[in-house]
Structure formats: structure tokens, C-alpha cells
Amino acid sequence: MREAPVGVFDSGVGGLSVLAEISRLLPDESLLYVADCGHIPYGEKSPEFIRQRCRLVADFFQQQGAKAMVLACNTATVAAVADLRERYPHWPLVGMEPAVKPAAAATRSGVVGVLATTGTLQSAKFAALLDRFASDVRVITQPCPGLVDLIETGELDSPALRQLLRSYVEPLLAAGCDTLILGCTHYPFLKPLLAEMVPSTVAIIDTGAAVARQLQRLLHERGLLAAGPAQPAQFWTSASVQHLQDILPLLWSGSGRVRRLAM
């Protein structure tokens, strides 16, 4: 069981930013990755729809013998993590949420900006996160429709992407935010662009590394950490295999086979 793979899931390629953190911290783990590119973006879909998709993927990882699952998607986590925990009570499951707690601790101006999907920002789980950790700071939320779709094309520096990103970030800077939370796993791929757009005094925070550490903790507690060597990562997409194959080298430094998952 220790050498069984870990299943990592996102609506698309965003979770590859988390996969990279997992592979850096836990190089002996064999990784499976499912991108539900056929149904992206989740940010504008209903929670019920997302829960159904997550169930299908969780069942698939179970069939593949995965010893744990990482929901490498903030939007899927708010919609489905409770449902999946109920469905698989004994399966180590790691979800993710915007880094409100570290951002509230880090801000000096007292103003924090959150870039995330509409689904994440409208959720009760996100409201609870703000109540719990951000009562002393001003949090400005910015839904970013369209951004994920552009990132999915694999063009991370197009004029359209720059323009859209700028339109989302500028109001946050104008409001005095000195800490920017990337509350969607697609957005870490925009860090080079963001670094050009925001002053160097603005901290940019995401939770990929924290999720990798949480996975490490859970596997360690259960005696499930792999001794290695890891198998090459395996990828599945619910849309075009060719497209994922084409853009994978831009977003993932390792190798890996891509297959189609009809679901």
C-alpha cells in the first residue's frame, strides 16, 4: 500500500502547480493526475455539478488503487470536500483553501486582496474562513472570470491575458492591498506576469506548498509514505489528449503519459 499512487485532481491544468509542490517535497511518491478539461471552468458551475464530477474522479482514483487523494482545486474543495469525506471516511483526502490565515498575519497595510473563482468566493466555506481568520483586516475579493480559460490554452503571456489580469489586480492595488492571495490553483502560473504588475512590496501567497506538507503529514501518520523509487506521473484528461500533451511541458517539468478519461 505504501507504494500505491496518490491521486491529484483539478478541473484543468491548475492543479499542476500543486503537483509540482508535491513532487518536490515527496519525490518518492507515484502520482496520478486527472484534469477535467472537458468541463472547465468549475468557477462558474453549480456546487451540485462539481460534486458529481468529484465523485466520478474519486471513484476512478479508488479503482486505480490510489492511497490518498488531493483536491488540487479551491473551487472543487468548497463544493465537494465534505461530500467526499463522507463517501470515503477512511481515505486520506487533502483539500485546499485560499491562504487567508497567513495573509492576515503577513499584511502590514491591513488590506488583503483575494483573486479566486466566483464559486470559491461565493461559498459558505470561504465566508467562514474570513470570519475565523480575517476579522482584523480588510479583505477585498476579486472574482476572475475568463482567467482560467486563457491559462488553459497554455499561453501564459498573451496580450489578452495581460489585459484581463491587469483589470483584476489594479483595483486591489488602488485599494492599498500589500498582500495578494492566489485562491485558485491556476493562478500560480501567472506569478511571472504578476511580478511585473505589482510592486515588489506586495506579497503574493498561494497554498500549493502547504497542501504538499499536509499530504506528507497524513501519509506519515498512517505509515503510508513511499520508499520509492516513484513511477513516472500518469495524466488523464476528459478533453483532448493532444492539447494536454502539447501544453504539459510548459506547466510540468517531469515526464508522463497522457490518456483520455471518458467521464
How would DSSP label each residue in 83-138?
Answer: HHHHHSTTS-EE-----HHHHHHH-SSSEEEEEE-HHHHTSHHHHHHHHHH-TTSE
Choice from 40, 115, 129, 150 touching ligand DGL (CB under 6 A)? 40
Active site residue 37: no
* Interface segment toward ligand DGL; rule CB under 6 A; list 9-17, 25-33, 171-179, 234-242: 9-17
Q: Does 43 bind ligand DGL (CB under 6 A)?
A: yes
Supply the minimum distance, in Å, between the C-beta of residue 77 and ligand DGL. 8
Distance CA 119, CA 75 (A): 6
Q: Does 115 bind ligand DGL (CB under 6 A)?
A: no
Which of 107/120 has CB closer to ligand DGL? 120
Q: Does 120 bind ligand DGL (CB under 6 A)?
A: yes
Which of 75/142 has CB closer to ligand DGL? 75
Residue 207 backbone dihedrals phi, psi, to 5 degrees: -115, 10
Supply the minimum distance, in Å, between the C-beta of residue 74 and ligand DGL. 4
Active site residue 184: yes
Burial of 239 (0-12, 13-18, 19+ CB in 10 A): middle
Q: What are the CA-CA distances from residue 12 to residues 32, 39, 98, 105 (Å)?
A: 14, 8, 18, 31
Site for ligand DGL in 151-180 (CB under 6 A): none
Cell of 2: 505504501
Cell of 149: 480559460
> Annotated binding residues for substrate, as ranges?
10-11, 42-43, 74-75, 185-186
Instruction: Give the active site residue among 37, 54, 177, 184.
Output: 184
Site for ligand DGL in 136-155 (CB under 6 A): 148
Q: Does 92 bind ligand DGL (CB under 6 A)?
A: no
Q: Does 188 bind ligand DGL (CB under 6 A)?
A: no
Instruction: Give the active site residue among 54, 73, 144, 177.
Output: 73
Q: Does 75 bind ligand DGL (CB under 6 A)?
A: yes
Choice from 10, 29, 97, 178 touching ligand DGL (CB under 6 A)? 10
Which among 36, 61, 60 has a CA at the least distance from the CA of 49? 36
Supply the minimum distance, in Å, between the C-beta of residue 147 and ligand DGL. 9
Interface ranges with ligand DGL (CB under 6 A) = 10-12, 14, 40-43, 73-75, 117, 120, 148, 184-186
Catalytic residues, which ones?
A: 73, 184
